[in-house]
Amino acid sequence: MMDWRIPHEFDLPVGTTLPQLAGAEINPMQLDPPGPVGEAYMFGTEAIEFIMGPVGSAKTTCSIFKILVSSLRMPVCKDGIIRSRGCVVHANLRALYRTAVPSLQQFFKPGTPGVEYAGGQDRPLQITLRFQTPNGRKLQIIIDGFGITKDTMEELLRGYQCNFGWCIEADQLDAEVPPFIYSRVAQGRYPGKGMLEDPEADVPGTVWGDLNAPLITNYIYTDFVEAPRPGYKLHLQPGGLEDNAENRKFVSKESYQKLAATLPPDKKRRMVDSKFGIEGDGAIVYPEYDQRIHCSSEVLKPLDLPLLIGSDAGGSPALVIGQFTPKGQMRWLDELVSKPGTGPGRFAEYLVDLLQSKYRGLPVAHAWGDPSAFHGADRQHGELSFMEILGKAISVNFLPTVTNDPSARQESVSWFLRRGVDEQGFPYFQHCKSMKVVQGGFLGGFKIVKNIHDSSDRVAFVKNSFSHVHEGGQYLCYGVRGHAGVINDAARAGRPGNVVPISTGRGPVKDFNLNDR
């Protein structure tokens, strides 16, 4: 076990004058935040708090200033000194020296009075910072650096007492590293109750981290977005090409445009657009999806309108419950996702429970499903198909869509997404923020790939945990729009309805009159 005591803790060379925090370039009270997201992250107090953004969005700068903000919240010790201690971690120690140390040295310059760096390549890093606060108190911050993995975290941090933890490139860490670091800060054991001026004072503890957008299969998505753990918060900065992008003072939109032109689409999506990437080969099904527009900021409450259902069958059945308004707005209210091996009877029970618990009093007007799920039953022995079992459970006849062609189904949803918002600013398509699997599919989990053995332009959806519920949503939209609507709008290729296609032709004028010539 390592010895974490600090010998001669606040001894300085004779004649040394501490830099005052109020007048230094590292003063958090004078920082011009890169934007509202960066500012919210910097002053946040959640247990585990990460920021995700494009390259050059000042994420690291915010994390460094968060060290000072966190330390200034610490209670005062009996001798008038404010003491704070924390760790900065990376999955690789050498990468920590390559990334974190140069950034820290930009703000806490080596050789400055009160600033000490110890350690080196392959040796433990320790930084000691000593300042004077605007109120004249002495502030001491100890920062320990670690290269840490799931296998080494207990060995390195057992017995370690600190107040904060900073995770560099947090997506590269194992999912269990941040909560283990939090176990070192949660009980406020540093500097010790006996040293505090008020032994009952609250000692804050928090873990934070910064990252570029990872793949959607990374724990960042599952633990912060899909099923957020208690105390977890993810701050999402806008993409670099957005009008509200952060850190515009130092990074221009033109620089992002040049970067975007040189990167492959998947890298551009993650490093410039700050969106989760897709796993393996394939393309995102809905590039039209804009989370700011199409994902509700609050939980969508059902309107006083009938419900609509679109369902996919198979080994992991799933469905979407929605509503279609008289103004032409498609609202996806809920998702029902099952585990592999769920049969039609059990899935029907789940659906009945969902409708009775959340949508009592609202009738189901229409329900659609995969055409193939209406077949395969042994009629001679009285068996029912998947969709018949589902329909009988809720007393609604499920209807098969005209086709289950992937391109037609994709277009049925894309049409709503492309419409954007109406004159009042209401989206023509929106899903509830609680639909985490649907959201994950829109963000990159639902993929479409071309069949490499097929020379045609036909495509197929990758079967994964996101695909089943999205296919259910496609059947819903296809059912609402109808086969003719999907085909006609696709043929118009986005042209307004009053534009006459070339193929229409003029034809003869039937009311021709010679006297008008």
Q: Which pLDDT value is given to residue 144?
A: 94
Same domain (yes/no): 196, 118: yes
What is the mean pLDDT of the segment spanning 294-318? 94
> Does one domain contain both 472 and 370?
yes
Within-domain flag for 278: no
CATH code, domain carrying 253: 3.40.50.300
- The count of structural domains within the chain is 2
Domain presence at residue 283: no
Residue 2, domain member (yes or no): no
What percentage of the chain carries pLDDT values higher than 90? Answer: 63
Give domain status of residue 265, yes or no.
yes
What's the rounded mean pLDDT across residues 502-510?
46
**308, 367 in Cβ contact below 8 A?**
yes
Q: Examine the pLDDT at 328 and tell me if it is beyond 70.
A: yes
Determine which of 59-73, 112-126, 226-240 has the lowest per-residue pLDDT on average. Answer: 112-126
> Over the stretch 7-18, which tens digit does the pLDDT of each residue have?
555 555 555 555
Identify whether 9 is part of a domain: no
Comparing CA positions, the residue from 435, 171, 466, 477 lying closest to residue 291 is 435
Average pLDDT, the chain: 86
265 and 353, same domain (yes or no): no
Nearest-angstrom CA–CA distance, 142 and 491: 65
Kindly state the average pLDDT of the residues 194-221: 94
Say whether both 465 and 410 belong to one domain.
yes
Residues 367 and 440 occupy one common structural domain: yes
Bigger pLDDT: 112 or 325? 325
- Non-local (6+) Cβ contacts of 95 within 8 A are 147, 168, 169
Query: Is the domain of 194 the same as that of 229?
Result: yes
Per-residue pLDDT tens for 48-88? 999 999 999 999 999 999 999 999 999 999 999 999 999 99
Strand 206-211 to 164-167 pairing: parallel
pLDDT at residue 506 tops 50 = no
- Based on the fold, state whether residues 306 and 382 are members of the same structural domain: yes
3-state DSSP of 16-32: CCCCEHHHCCCCHHHCC
Same domain, yes or no: 296 and 236 = no
- Domain span at residue 357? 291-492
Mean pLDDT of all residues in 461-480: 94
Residue 110 lies in a domain: yes
Residue 414 pLDDT more than 60? Answer: yes
User: Is 63 domain-assigned?
Assistant: yes
pLDDT band at 508 (very low <50, low <70, confident <90, very high): very low
Host H or E run for residue 87:
strand 81-90
**231 and 356 both lie in a single domain:** no
317 assigned to some structural domain: yes
Q: Residue 306 sits in a domain of what CATH number? A: 3.30.420.280
